[in-house]
Chains A and B, each alone.
Chain A
Amino acid sequence: KQEVTQIPAALSVPEGENLVLNCSFTDSAIYNLQWFRQDPGKGLTSLLLIQSSQREQTSGRLNASLDKSSGRSTLYIAASQPGDSATYLCAVRRSSNTGKLIFGQGTTLQVKP
């Protein structure tokens, strides 16, 4: 059974700091991995999607890496800003034949001005 874990559960950093959010999964047989952002009481915003054959994806100040063999992904945020404060969720998909994303519990990030 696939399980996704995100550590830490919460993180507080000063503005401008570079930071890394971690995501681990127990079954390395995945189709892709997606990182999301969720603001309080809102839906999810897709940030990056990494195919199982890829090592990393970049979008602006965000860089997501994937090490499938070790069951790990990281989300790197450069030069953090107060507007980055949100909960960040990772989710894995087992195959193209399933619609199911399996989510971690998220990391709540606070960036202090």
Chain B
Amino acid sequence: DTGVSQDPRHKITKRGQNVTFRCDPISEHNRLYWYRQTLGQGPEFLTYFQNEAQLEKSRLLSDRFSAERPKGSFSTLEIQRTEQGDSAMYLCASSLGDRNLYEQYFGPGTRLTVT
């Protein structure tokens, strides 16, 4: 396994711009998760996919946020009309399902700074 990868690792954008992040899960992992982490806090759940189906969304995921996993492999998280409060680390994780008790493996994260 090459691990969960995320791209870009860092993104600086101006308020009001749209940004898109990509996550590639561990191969054969059918579940993929997105979390957001602000400084000094634990990660907060945003959404998760089983294969291509988005099964759960947090209330944190406002209508400016959209996530997709079109072919059940990689996923994208888009934030439209970014706000300074969106500045955070966006973490992606994947898991295999019940075979490994849904243990989640995290990627390195994408650090977003909105100026």
Residues of A within 8 A of B (CB): 4, 31-32, 34, 36, 41-46, 49, 51, 89, 91, 93, 96, 98-106
Contact = CB atoms under 8 A, between A and B. Distances in A.
Given A41-B111, A43-B106, A51-B101, A101 B91 contact: no
23 contacts: A4-B42, A31-B102, A32-B102, A41-B111, A42-B109, A43-B4, A43-B107, A45-B106, A89-B43, A91-B42, A96-B102, A99-B33, A99-B45, A99-B47, A99-B50, A100-B48, A100-B56, A101-B45, A102-B45, A105-B40, A105-B41, A105-B42, A106-B42
Chain B interface bracket (under 10, 10 to 19, 20 to 34, 35 or more):
20 to 34
Contact of A98 (B4, B56, B109): B56
Contacts, number: 64
A46 B42 contact: no
Interface in B85-115: 91, 93, 98, 101-109, 111
Contact of A43 (B50, B91, B103): B91
